[in-house]
């Protein structure tokens, strides 16, 4: 029975990590928002790894936090072990990762949503999106309730036509044994949206009481914990110790003996999986020369005996998984509480999206997260935020929020998806950005707090505090360049102890800090008038001075690319009839319709010669108008 259930400005479909940031952003921007979830107990669920951050992903969380998002704050309220990855490398690739108490994270996020003004969270399955004249008008649930809306943000995760696969058993299902969203795909197809099939997987969960931890390597958290949110004032605590173990020849033998039963290799699984997070059977085949593979034993929370075996993702039959598990040191008598499984799901071709994450064919329809072809909680969260801000701004007649590649990882992620597309679940990594030294996780506040403030999602107090912080950084850099030291025995003894050459002539404190093995903290013993600045100010001073030349070079690269980004392409160009372009370029440009020359230059199949032809065309058009 179809009935009128009321009107809202925005409907968000899904309350995972993308949906949470999406509905919070639109509500905080003053729009009446309704967020639908198949199960209210699954808000903020972590169906795969119970962790936040990681290589490249930690950068996304800190950028989102600086914009006014919620993930970093919730992580700091619920995470139980923190580690800064890649500490042995330069600051560009330092990435924060934290093990979360899975249920605590859900509890925190659900409460935030329930307390948010302008937001209603409702348990219901959306089965249909209604439109008129190519524009979204309403959403309808399986009970017939019709909600009239002006914008829809799809954050469906792996629920959209989800199928879980364990060996020969395939079942229509969402993750964690929840119902899937099996009817919405048909509605999207009827709207003219191209859907395709991706796949991901998750490892088994193990009863901690059945693990022999004495045979495992300990993996403690950091002594000095760095929080995700720049606003977290109380330093989070490490409350658990994680562990490491390995597969071995026996494990690999069991896998090889049962490879014919693997749906990944038998053709049962049709969806494309993530290359950077393969199943254990895929690893054994692809890396046949490796005698073992590392596995991470991570608690699911403080109030549960379930642990997560990272690196042991599989879709092999359950009994095979048990045999595999029992070959691993420390797991000889382990009991599985949940077996591993693969999950296939529908997603959109992201090249059908604008940089605002609005669909090109259906006005008012936005996508975020795994619906857009990405993988990971962090990738989903930032897309949810950007899609929401753009949906709100369009309804409020405000300019769109388009974060370009030069600004940060969020810009790289979205530009890669909508410009290049992806033939597998897209995962953020530090290697994806051309400007890693500019896009560090430690300076995300400098890059994004002003934007968050201008959006109205960051307070004036926070904006002023960040402005003051970087004013102090600039002041200290200038001061260190003026304070000189004459060569002396104490200084040279210190330099020798660091493995640095002795100072033969007078040096400034800035000169000393440029030496690889000298830190800002080390300078204190030679700096009688040193100001008492917070740690984060000293951190920025040290990085800015040590990497000054590299940072300047990347800034010049940004300026060069900016020249192309500033050359906007008219929306009505008939690329198919444009002379001077190769056929492939014409087709790709006509499909993606880039906003500017910079975006055009990054489209797969568009050569530098094609970009030159576009520049010539634009100059001719300019001359004709003159």
Instruction: Express each pLDDT in 421-444 by its tens digit.
Output: 998 999 999 999 999 999 999 999
Which contacts qualify for 567-571: CB closer than 8 Å, 24 or more apart? 567/596, 567/597, 567/598, 567/615, 567/618, 568/595, 568/596, 569/594, 569/595, 569/596, 569/597, 569/600, 569/614, 569/618, 570/621
Helices (H), 326-431: 377-395, 409-415
Report pLDDT for 508.
95
**Among 326, 306, 285, 388, CA closest to 68:** 388
CB 344 within 8 A of CB 271: yes
**Residue among 610, 533, 522, 536 nearest 573 (CA):** 610
Count the helices and strands in the chain (H runs, E runs). Answer: 20, 24
What pLDDT was estimated at residue 607?
87
Supply 238's token pair.
């490490």
The token duo for 487 is: 């060569």
User: 382-386, 543-547, 607-611: which has the minimum mean pLDDT?
Assistant: 607-611
Quote the CA–CA distance of 30 and 15 in Å, as a whole number: 19
Residue 603 has pLDDT above 70, yes or no: yes
Residue 279 placed within a domain: yes
**pLDDT score for 30:** 98
The H or E element spanning position 597 is helix 597-601
What pLDDT, on a 0 to 100 scale, did the predictor assign at position 571?
A: 83
Query: What pLDDT, on a 0 to 100 scale, did the predictor assign at position 213?
Result: 98
pLDDT at 613: 87
Using one digit for the tens of pLDDT, what is the confidence trace for 139-149?
999 999 999 99
Query: Which of the pair, 206 or 557, is modelled with greater confidence?
Result: 206
531 within a domain of the structure (yes/no): yes
Contact between 421 and 437 (Cβ < 8 Å): no
Task: Give yes or no: residues 301 and 210 share one domain.
Answer: yes
135, 9: one domain:
yes
Digit-coded pLDDT (tens) for 398-407: 999 999 999 9
Which of 107, 118, 126 lies closest to 45, judged by CA? Answer: 107
Inform me whether the pLDDT recorded for 132 exceeds 70: yes
606 & 545 share domain: no
Distance between CA atoms of residues 381 and 105, nearest Å: 14
Q: Write down the pLDDT at residue 522.
A: 94
C-alpha–C-alpha distance, residues 581 and 5, integer Å:
51
Per the model's pLDDT, the better-predicted residue between 616 and 266 turns out to be 616
Check which CATH number belongs to the domain holding 518 and give it.
1.10.10.1800
Residue 502 lies in a domain: yes
Domain boundary among 407, 435, 454: 454
Task: Assign 513 a pLDDT band (cuts: 50, 70, 90).
Answer: very high
List beta partners, residue 79. Answer: 100
* Average pLDDT of the segment spanning 21-33: 98
- Judge whether 388 lies within some domain: yes
Do 23 and 119 share a structural domain? yes
Whether residue 351 is contained in a domain is answered as yes
Would the pLDDT of 318 be above 70?
yes
Tell me, yes or no, whether 413 lies in a domain.
yes
* Cα first-last separation, the chain: 61
Residue 269: the pLDDT is 67
Both tokens of 231, joined, read 């606003």
What per-residue confidence (pLDDT) applies to 271? 66
The strand pair at 169-172 and 51-53 is best described as: unpaired
Residues 588 and 613 placed together within one structural domain of the fold: yes
Residues 190 and 50 in one domain: yes
| Mean pLDDT, residues 236-243 | 96
Domain boundary, last residue among 326, 342, 358: 342
On whether both 48 and 151 belong to a single domain, the answer is: yes
pLDDT of 561 higher than 80: yes
CATH number at residue 289: 2.40.30.260
Give residue 273's pLDDT: 66
- State the pLDDT confidence band at 566, using cuts at 50, 70 and 90: confident
Q: What is the mean pLDDT of residues 212-237?
A: 95
Q: How far apart are CA 400 and CA 394, in angstroms?
A: 7
Residue 83 domain-assigned?
A: yes
Residue pLDDT, tens place only, 28-60: 999 999 999 999 999 999 998 999 999 999 999
In the predicted model, what is the mean pLDDT of the chain? 94
Q: Can you read off the two tokens belonging to residue 185?
A: 């795909």
- How many domains does the structure of the chain reveal? 4
Q: Check which CATH number belongs to the domain holding 389 and give it.
A: 3.50.50.60
Distance from chain centroid for Cα 551: 24
Lowest mean pLDDT among 13-27, 197-211, 359-373, 606-620: 606-620
608 — pLDDT class (breaks 50, 70, 90): confident
User: In this structure, are 12 and 89 located in the same domain?
Assistant: yes
Q: Strand pairing partners for 209?
A: none
Confidence of residue 266 (pLDDT cuts 50, 70, 90): low
Encode pLDDT of 452-510 as tens digits: 999 999 999 999 999 999 999 999 999 999 999 999 999 999 999 999 999 889 999 99
Residue 560 lies inside a defined structural domain of this protein: no
**Residue 70: which pLDDT band, with cuts at 50, 70 and 90?**
very high
* Beta carbons of 411 and 367 less than 8 angstroms apart: no
The verdict on 470 and 427 lying in the same domain is no
Residues 477 and 367 in one domain: no
357 and 423 in a single domain? The answer is yes
Does the pLDDT of residue 268 top 80, yes or no?
no
Out of 34-38, 104-108, 555-559, least confident range: 555-559
The verdict on 296 and 284 lying in the same domain is yes
Q: What is the dihedral of CA 94, 96, 389, 374, to 10 degrees?
A: 90
At 288 the three-state DSSP class reads coil
Range of the structural domain that residue 477 is part of: 462-553
- Residue 589, C-beta contacts closer than 8 angstroms, at least 6 positions apart: 573, 575, 581, 600, 603, 606, 610
- Comparing CA positions, the residue from 244, 551, 275, 246 lying closest to residue 429 is 275
**Boundary (domain end) residue, out of 425, 454, 483:** 454
Q: What CATH number is attached to the domain comprising 612?
A: 1.10.150.570
- Asked if the model's pLDDT at residue 562 lies above 90, the reply is no
Q: Look at the pTM and tell me if it is higher than 0.85.
A: yes
């Amino acid at each position: 029975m179809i009935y009128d259930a009321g009107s809202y400005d925005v409907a968000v479909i899904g309350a995972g990590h993308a949906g949470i940031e999406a509905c919070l952003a639109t509500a905080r921007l003053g729009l009446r928002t309704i967020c639908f979830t198949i199960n209210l107990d699954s808000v903020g669920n972590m169906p795969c790894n119970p962790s936040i951050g990681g290589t490249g992903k930690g950068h996304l969380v800190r950028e989102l936090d600086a914009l006014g998002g919620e993930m970093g704050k919730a992580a700091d309220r619920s995470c139980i072990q923190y580690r800064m990855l890649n500490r042995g490398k330069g600051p560009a690739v330092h990435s924060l990762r934290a093990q979360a108490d899975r249920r605590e994270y859900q509890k925190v996020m659900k409460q935030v949503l329930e307390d948010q003004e302008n937001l209603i969270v409702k348990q219901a399955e959306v089965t249909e999106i209604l439109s008129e004249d190519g524009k979204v008008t309403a959403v309808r649930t399986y009970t017939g309730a019709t909600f009239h809306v002006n914008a829809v943000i799809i954050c469906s995760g792996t629920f959209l036509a989800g199928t879980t696969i364990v060996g020969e058993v395939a079942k229509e299902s969402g993750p964690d044994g929840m119902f899937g969203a099996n009817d919405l795909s048909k509605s999207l197809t009827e709207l003219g949206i191209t859907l395709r099939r991706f796949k991901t997987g998750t490892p088994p969960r193990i009863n901690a009481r059945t693990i022999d931890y004495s045979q495992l390597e300990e993996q403690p958290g950091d002594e000095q914990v760095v929080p995700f949110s720049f606003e977290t004032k109380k330093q989070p605590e490490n409350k658990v110790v994680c562990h490491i173990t390995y597969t071995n020849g026996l494990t690999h033998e069991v896998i090889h003996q049962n490879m014919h039963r693997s749906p990944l290799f038998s053709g049962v699984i049709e969806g494309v999986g993530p290359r950077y997070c393969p199943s254990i059977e895929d690893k054994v085949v692809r890396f046949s020369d490796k005698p073992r593979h590392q596995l991470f034993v991570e608690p699911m929370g403080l109030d549960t005996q379930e642990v997560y075996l990272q690196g042991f993702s599989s879709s092999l039959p359950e009994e095979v998984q048990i045999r595999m598990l029992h070959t691993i040191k420390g797991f000889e008598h382990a009991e599985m509480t949940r077996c591993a499984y693969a999950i296939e799901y529908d997603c959109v071709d992201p090249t059908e999206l604008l940089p605002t994450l609005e669909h090109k064919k259906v006005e008012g329809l936005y996508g975020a997260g795994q619906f857009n072809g990405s993988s990971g909680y962090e990738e989903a969260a930032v897309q949810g935020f950007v899609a929401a801000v753009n949906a709100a701004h369009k309804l409020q007649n405000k300019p769109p929020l388009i974060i370009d590649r030069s600004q940060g990882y969020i810009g790289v992620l979205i530009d890669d998806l909508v410009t290049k597309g992806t033939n597998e679940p897209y995962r953020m990594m530090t290697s994806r950005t051309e400007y890693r030294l500019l896009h560090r996780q430690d300076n995300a506040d400098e890059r994004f707090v002003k934007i968050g403030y201008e959006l109205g999602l960051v307070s004036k107090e926070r904006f002023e505090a960040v402005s003051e912080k970087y004013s102090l950084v600039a002041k200290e850099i200038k001061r260190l360049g003026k304070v000189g030291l004459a060569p002396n025995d104490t200084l040279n003894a210190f330099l020798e102890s660091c493995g640095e050459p002795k100072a033969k002539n007078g040096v400034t404190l800035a000169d000393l800090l440029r030496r690889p093995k000298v830190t800002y903290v080390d300078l204190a013993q030679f700096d009688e008038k040193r100001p008492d600045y917070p740690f984060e100010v000293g951190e920025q001073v040290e990085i800015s001075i040590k990497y000054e030349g590299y940072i300047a070079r990347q800034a010049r690269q940004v300026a060069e690319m900016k020249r192309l980004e500033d050359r906007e392409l008219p929306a009505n160009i008939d690329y198919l009839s444009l002379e001077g372009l190769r056929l492939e370029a014409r087709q790709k440009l006509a499909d993606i319709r880039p906003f500017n020359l910079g975006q055009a230059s990054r489209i797969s199949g568009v050569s530098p010669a094609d970009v030159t032809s576009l520049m010539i065309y634009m100059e001719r058009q300019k001359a004709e108008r003159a």
